């Protein structure tokens, strides 16, 4: 098949490109060439997807069997590509997110749950918000039609080349050794998916010409936070690391050392009403269609191998905290703050 990847050079796009090439497909990537290098073997077209001129130049005289859109963040972006590609491709996959659903994290959601309100014609350059992914979905469905569109509602993606730095942060924190602040309860379940498993499922559905919608993440209850941290410790070879578990309410107590959920201790979602169902996405439809999720230990090992080969990341500060893409926040707790909390609670 001839596949056009919108993006295609970093993390999920890279995983799609690698899997498609391994299956013998012809892959064209369209990106600005700023995030990362394209994989050898792809045809690369440089351009800005926000530019009508650039997208028109991409499609002129060309055609593909399918489009995979891993980079749509604004409805206007998805609307432009869907409109100009509607006569140049037979099928359009858009990667959305579980965040696009109105009740995500506060109730169990499935594919029939309500999306956040965001029209397909939302003006460009909107501030980041969960609703924008819902608008991207609507733009693709309007441009390509439901019978030629596949919407993949991504769960939390992890694995080699990760952009958000969540799994890398925990692996590197374990490698530094000592006493490690472990938040909440070790038995609390998580729901994450290896980026390579996501891409493989997406290409399976693309090759089958599937239309429709899938929430694409691991089954609920497959992994606990305790297993996550113990696996990170083992993979990083940090046998002398000690996990110090501290209850949610103590970390959330008002004061100078109150801990910010999710950002300061990545993937920590305390037992609060607004977080209670964050790891309870119903992915049964995707699993019935063939989604397979590898054990977390394999993902952790492969990510650690990549980290050691990569060297220091440009998005990491002197204290090991990482920039969160698209925001002004850093991922990971300040070491001095962690030590104060350990001294107080440990």
| CA separation for the pair 318, 326 (Å, rounded) | 20
Residues 6+ apart with CB under 8 A from 312: none
Q: What is the structure's pLDDT at 315?
A: 53
Helices and strands, number each (H, E), in the chain: 11, 17
Strand partners, 30: 6, 45
Tokens (6 digits) for 232: 């990170």
What's CA 270's distance to the chain center, in Å? 20
Q: Where in the chain is the domain with CATH 3.40.50.720?
A: 2-154
| Selection from 79, 87, 292 nearest residue 204 by Cα | 292
Strand partners, 104: 107
| CA separation for the pair 149, 279 (Å, rounded) | 27
Tell me which residues of the chain have a pLDDT lower than 50. 318-319, 323-329
Tokens (6 digits) for 275: 């977080």
* Strand 26-31 to 43-46 pairing: parallel
| Residue 290 zone, left/alpha/beta (φ > 0; ψ -120 to 50; rest) | left
| Selection from 23, 9, 82, 10 nearest residue 202 by Cα | 23
Q: What is the structure's pLDDT at 256?
A: 87
2-154 in CATH: which number? 3.40.50.720
Q: What is the structure's pLDDT at 316?
A: 55
For residue 161, give the H/E element and its range. none
Q: What is the structure's pLDDT at 331?
A: 80
Q: What is the structure's pLDDT at 177?
A: 95
Q: Is residue 282 within 8 Å of 215, Cβ to Cβ?
A: yes
Neighbour count for residue 315 (Cβ, 10 Å): 14
């Amino acid at each position: 098949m001839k596949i056009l990847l919108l993006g295609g050079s970093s993390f999920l796009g890279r995983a799609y490109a690698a899997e498609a090439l391994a299956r013998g497909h012809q892959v064209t990537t369209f990106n600005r060439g700023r995030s990362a290098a394209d994989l050898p073997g792809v045809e690369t077209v440089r351009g800005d997807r926000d530019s009508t001129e650039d997208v028109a130049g991409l499609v002129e005289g060309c055609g593909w069997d399918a489009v995979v859109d891993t980079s749509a963040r604004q409805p206007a972006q998805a609307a432009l590509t869907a409109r100009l590609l509607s006569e140049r491709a037979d099928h359009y996959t858009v990667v959305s997110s579980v965040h696009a659903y109105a009740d995500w994290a506060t109730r169990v959601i499935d594919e029939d749950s309500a999306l956040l309100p965001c029209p397909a014609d939302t003006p460009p350059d909107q501030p980041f918000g969960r609703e924008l992914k819902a608008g991207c979905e609507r733009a693709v469905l309007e441009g390509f039609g439901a019978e030629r569109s596949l919407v993949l509602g991504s769960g939390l993606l992890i694995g080699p080349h990760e952009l958000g730095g969540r799994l890398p942060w925990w692996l590197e924190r374990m490698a530094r050794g000592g006493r490690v602040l472990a938040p909440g309860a070790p038995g609390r379940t998580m729901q994450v998916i290896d980026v390579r498993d996501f891409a493989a499922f997406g290409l399976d559905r693309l090759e089958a010409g599937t239309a429709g919608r899938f929430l694409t993440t691991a089954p609920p209850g497959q992994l606990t936070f305790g297993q996550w941290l113990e696996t990170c410790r083992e993979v990083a070879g940090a046998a002398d690391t000690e996990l110090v578990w501290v209850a949610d309410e103590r970390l959330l107590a008002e004061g100078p050392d109150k801990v910010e959920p999710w950002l300061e201790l990545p993937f920590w979602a305390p037992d609060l009403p607004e977080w209670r169902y964050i790891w309870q996405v119903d992915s049964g439809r995707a699993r019935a269609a063939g989604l397979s999720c590898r054990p977390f230990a394999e993902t952790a090992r492969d990510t650690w191998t990549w980290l050691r080969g990569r060297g220091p990341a440009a998005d990491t500060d002197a204290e090991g905290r990482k920039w969160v893409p698209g925001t002004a926040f850093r991922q990971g707790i300040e070491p001095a703050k962690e030590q104060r909390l350990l001294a107080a609670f440990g």
